[in-house]
Chain A
Amino acid sequence: MVSVRYLFDQLLREEWRMHARLFGGWRFAAFPVFLAALAAGTATFFALAGSETETLLAGLHVVVALVGLQVGSIGLVGRDALGDLLGDVTLLVFSARTLPVSERRLLAVFVVKDVLYYALLFIAPLVVGVAPLVVLTDLSVAVLPRLLASAWLAFAFGVGTSLLLVGLATRSRLLAALVGVAALAGGSLRPGLVVAFTPFGLYADPSYFRLAVSVTVPLLAAVVGFSLFEFDRTGTTRTAGNQFRRLTGLFGARDEQGLLAKSLLDVARSSGSLWKVLLSQGLIFGVVAILLGYIPDILVGVRPSPGLTLGSVLALGAFTTYNWLCQYDDAAFFGTYPIDLARVFEAKLWAFFLLAVPAGGFYLALGTVVFGPTSLLVGATVYVPVAVYVFGVTAYVAGLRPTELLFDTPVFMLFSGAVMAVLLPLVVLAIAYPLAPTRISVAAVGLSLVAGLLGVVGYRRAGPKWTRRARAGDL
């Protein structure tokens, strides 16, 4: 039997080679450097704005836990891939069908590899990036090793939680949703639980007990998730009625080439179905709600506008919806039909509206229940144009391969720079909101509308740009 160590080595080698080859050899090695610089810039900005150091570091833990949730979602895509539902075997993790290795074992080693790989290349640079706080605030150098450990464990916590939810979802989606909602509600109603049961506690209140809890909880969540994970190896053939025809009939002239109907069916019929859109936005809502509701006076003694914060961050999170929409597409497929890629991006935009706007609207409405309606109207007004901006930037920068290309350092720099250019001013406006609500609302809406227009420009240029690259053989 092939050893776990051997599998781990090969998977690690494959991951590095894939990134290095895709993104220009050692150019990929610049990625952690850029991440550290980005984190340093953000930390400096907030420190100079008078933020509490502890709040910033809590935010860091939230960010790395979110990255962990994303990495752990391999369980979702992996279920399709491991079951050979996606066709060609392109990575070792998808090759259980042809190798004498159980799917569960292969997936477990893959996740361990991912945790270590991302911990070194992504999480460590983010922690290094907060180093300016040592100079700018009262943060002690001696705290940094503990911060690194708790950030790594927070990342593992995100991965473990994701695996647990995905494992549960393969048995019962309702149960997974209930567990997710219960965890978020628990964290919201009893913030002490976050310190008690997550690796943030190791940073906030260090002790051997906290260390044991911080290691055990992610591990336990991952093990339970793996145990529950049900691989789709039944060999059943799935059939369906002609939903495509119903959808094209419904959309009429808006979907002349059936591209919108195809996009929606891709999302609806892949693992996680349409719920994954609501779930990914729900995670963002939960985290922002906890931060807004239970960390008082986050910055410079002023409580930020919940509506503006939620609207901006949820719009940024709509990136995941774009990702779901493009997961199963490639330019070569469309290139065999009389389809202009510009029409493909147009269909993606409509599909994006149909999925992301109701999901964002739902959580903004939920926000009015939690925080009151005062500033949420502004948040709702900001949400749609900023989401369009995120769509336009992603379509222009990354085309139909958003996940893959965003690991390319220059592309990622362009993407994050473009997003930060709009998000940072909106965050500042959210912080300053209580000082002049009306004027700041007008400024935020104005800024978001300009961003939305830029998003439309990006989306309109995406088609010609990616057509040109496809026809040059550059994809």
Chain B
Amino acid sequence: MTDRAIETEELTKQYGEVTALDSLDLDVPTGELYGFLGPNGAGKSTTINILTGQLTPDSGTAEVAGVDPVAEPVRARERVGILPENGKPPYFLTVREYFDFVAEARGLDSVDDRVDRWADRLAFESKLDTLCTDLSQGERQKTLITQAFLHEPEVVFIDEPLTNLDPIIQERAKQFFTTYAEAGNTVFLSTHFIATAQEMCTRVGIVNRGKLLEELDPRDLGEETLLDRFFATVDTDTAAVDPADPAALAGEE
């Protein structure tokens, strides 16, 4: 295991005229629960997709768990877990079969014990033999969280992990993410839930227009909240609305 879980240098990605990433430099040490915050279109998903070998950058370098995801995408994905935003488990496999599929895809021997532990942790024991297409949104999210951690990866990318989960399961999931990072693994959390990031993360990076604007430890904020800092850092013209402005929230001029 290396000291640096994630490192990028001058990472740049353009989609036509749009600059999704603009010379992004990241340095996330092992064992950190790193929060990646930014408004819609800030470049969060593009970053995760490049770091997991799903997308090729235009320029710059990246290393994740000691592997270059640009040069060796499949090997990089062996080392990491991925919970994509709006992911969908395969419609016509049962939940148990899906986990077997993940085990086969990742070359694991048997995951029955791990599946049982996760089913207990996130309370979906009764759904293990249900076709994924018949799951509720919350049950799908539980399934997707489980598959991301099934092989106990040293680095895991989780994009909006708490979506559609009830408050009890949210708390259990948060507790697990924290414990998982404390055990020496790295959790890269992309989220719009700023309060959650403040509560859980050991460090937070605020990104907008593909640039890393600021990194901070939420525990150093004192009286200031992470939400205040977020709005102070991000150019509000590019944020969806200013929450302090009820007229803007209502969509009025």
A residues at B contact (CB < 8 Å):
80, 85-88, 236-245, 248, 255-259, 261-262, 265-266, 268-270, 328, 332-333, 335-340, 470-473
By beta carbon, the residue of chain B nearest A341 is: B74
Task: Judge if B31 is at the interface, Cβ distance under 8 Å.
Answer: no
Partner pick for B97 among A237, A243, A257, CB 8 A cutoff: A243
Tell me, rounded to whole Å, the shortest Cβ–Cβ distance linking A220 to chain B: 34
For B86, list chain A residues within 8 Å (CB).
88
Interface residues of B in 65-123 (CB under 8 A from A): 73-75, 77-78, 82, 84, 86-88, 90-94, 96-97, 100-102, 104-107
- Alpha-carbon gap, A209 to B164, bound state (A): 60
Main secondary structure of the interface of A (DSSP, over half): loop
Top 3 nearest A-B pairs (CB, nearest first) are A258-B104, A244-B97, A269-B92
List residues of chain B with CB within 8 A of the CB of A256. 104, 107
Distance, CA A244 to CA B55, complexed state (A) = 30
B130 at the interface (CB under 8 A from A): yes
B52 at the interface (CB under 8 A from A): yes
**Is there an interface contact between B56 and A472, defined as CB atoms closer than 8 Å?**
yes
Q: Are A245 and B56 in contact (CB under 8 A)?
A: no
Contacts known (A240-B131, A245-B100, A336-B82); A257 close to B105, Cβ less than 8 A: yes
A332 touching B54 in the complex, CB below 8 Å, given contacts A244-B97, A244-B101, A262-B101: yes
CB distance from A458 to the nearest CB of B (A): 22
Is A258 touching B101 in the complex (CB atoms < 8 A)? yes
CB neighbours (8 Å) of B130 from chain A are 237-239
30 pairs, A vs B, C-beta closer than 8 Å: A237-B134, A238-B131, A238-B134, A240-B97, A242-B97, A242-B100, A244-B94, A244-B101, A245-B97, A248-B104, A258-B104, A262-B90, A266-B90, A266-B91, A269-B131, A270-B92, A328-B90, A328-B92, A332-B84, A333-B90, A335-B52, A335-B54, A337-B82, A338-B78, A339-B74, A339-B77, A340-B74, A471-B54, A471-B55, A471-B56
Q: Which chain B residues border A259 with CB–CB below 8 Å?
A: 105
Residues of B within 8 A of A86 (CB): 91, 133
Known: A248-B104, A266-B90. A336 touches B56 (CB 8 A): no
B106: chain A residues within 8 A (beta carbon): 337-338
On chain B, the residues within 8 Å of A470 by CB distance are 54
Docked Cα-Cα span, A79 to B93, in Å, equals: 18
Q: Report Cα–Cα, A245/B101, bound state, in Å.
A: 9
- Number of A-B residue pairs, CB cutoff 8 Å, is 112
Does any Cβ of A come within 8 Å of B129's Cβ?
yes
**Known contacts A237-B130, A244-B101, A333-B87; 7 further A-B pairs (Cβ under 8 A):** A258-B105, A262-B93, A262-B101, A336-B87, A338-B105, A339-B77, A471-B53
Closest to B74 in A: A338
* Minimum CB–CB distance for B37 against chain A, Å: 22
Q: Which residue of B lies closest to A330 (CB)?
A: B88
Q: A240-B131, A244-B100, A337-B102 are in contact. Are A87 and B91 (CB under 8 A)?
A: yes
Give the chain B neighbours of A236 by CB distance below 8 A: 134
Residues of A contacting B105 in the complex (Cβ-Cβ under 8 angstroms): 257-259, 337-339
Chain B min CB distance to A110 (Å): 21
Q: Which residues of B contact A471 (CB under 8 A)?
A: 53-56, 73
Beta-carbon nearest neighbor of B86 in chain A? A88
Whether the Cβ atoms of A265 and B97 lie closer than 8 Å is yes
Min Cβ gap A81→B in Å is 11
Quote the shortest CB–CB distance from B87 to chain A (angstroms): 7
Interchain CA distance A269-B94 in the complex, whole Å: 11
The CA of A258 and the CA of B90, in the complex, are separated in Å by 13
CB of A336 within 8 A of CB of B77, answer yes
